[in-house]
Structure 1
Amino acid sequence: MSIYAVTYTYSDDVALRDAERPAHREYLAGLGEAGQLVVSGPWGPDEAAGALLLLRADSAEAARALTAADPFVKVGVVVDQTVREFLPVLGPGKDVFA
């Protein structure tokens, strides 16, 4: 399996984001338990609203299929996303991705 870096850009609808956050986090927790989610989290408070997810998947299409089932994607909190293969090479955390 490869690692894919997925970036989310969120809509400006903070109320929708807040309402769907529990379902979104429950879904991501399930991906973590299944070994498909390495880590995820939002951008900092001074950044545009969005998040980064590092996913284990067989292909970019498989990573997109995982995000397609995310409640944030389903209800329109995520208005744009990118999926890119990530190749960890250096640093003490690179073994996390093995």
Structure 2
Amino acid sequence: MLVVELAFTSSPERLAARPAHREILARLHAEGELVAAGPWVEDDGALLVFAVDRGRLEDIMDADPYYRRTPGVEVRSVRAWTPIVGVLQRS
């Protein structure tokens, strides 16, 4: 699994892009590629957990302008994560 951490500003462009981004997230979740996603309570960033490999994550991020082309959104980190409990494991 891969965990993406985002940082936000209150940019109007970010807020305008958010509905389309959330539609993409809903589709990725329904397809099993996104485990969970959501903003921090302060709305200064977000955490997303993907059940994909690095190449597929790059494709996902390239297809959604929110990650790389929307003012007010910064990808802070992409890290591999090995869950021990709490997540269904795929074989």
What TM-score do you get using the length of structure 1 for normalisation?
0.75
Structure 1 residues 66, 38: CA separation in 2 closer, same or farther (over 3 Å shift)?
A: same
Alignment partner of 1:57: what SS?
A: coil
Q: Deviations over 1:54-74 (max 9, x none)?
A: 00112x243233123223223
Residues 1-98 of structure 1: matches in 2 within 5 Å? 3-13=1-11, 15-45=12-42, 49-58=44-53, 60-73=54-67, 74-90=69-85, 93-94=86-87, 96-98=88-90
Q: Contact 2:14–2:70 at 8 Å: present in 1 too?
A: no
Runs of 4+ aligned structure 1 residues displaced above 4 Å come to none
Query: Over aligned residues, Cα RMSD in angstroms?
Result: 1.9
**Unaligned regions of 5+ residues in structure 1, if any?**
none
Give the Cα–Cα distance (whole angstroms) in 2 for the partners of residues 50 and 11 of structure 1: 8
How many residue pairs get aligned? The number is: 89
Which structure carries more helix by proportion?
A: 1
TM-score, L = length of structure 2: 0.80
SS at the partner of 1:27? helix
Aligned-residue identity in percent:
35
Distance 1:43 1:79, change over 3 A: same
Is the contact made by 1:28 and 1:70 (CA closer than 8 Å) also made in structure 2? no
User: How much does 1:87 deviate?
Assistant: 0.5
- Could you list the runs of 5+ residues in structure 2 that have no partner in the other structure? none
User: What is the rounded CA distance, in whole Å, between the counterparts of 1:61 and 1:78 in structure 2?
Assistant: 21
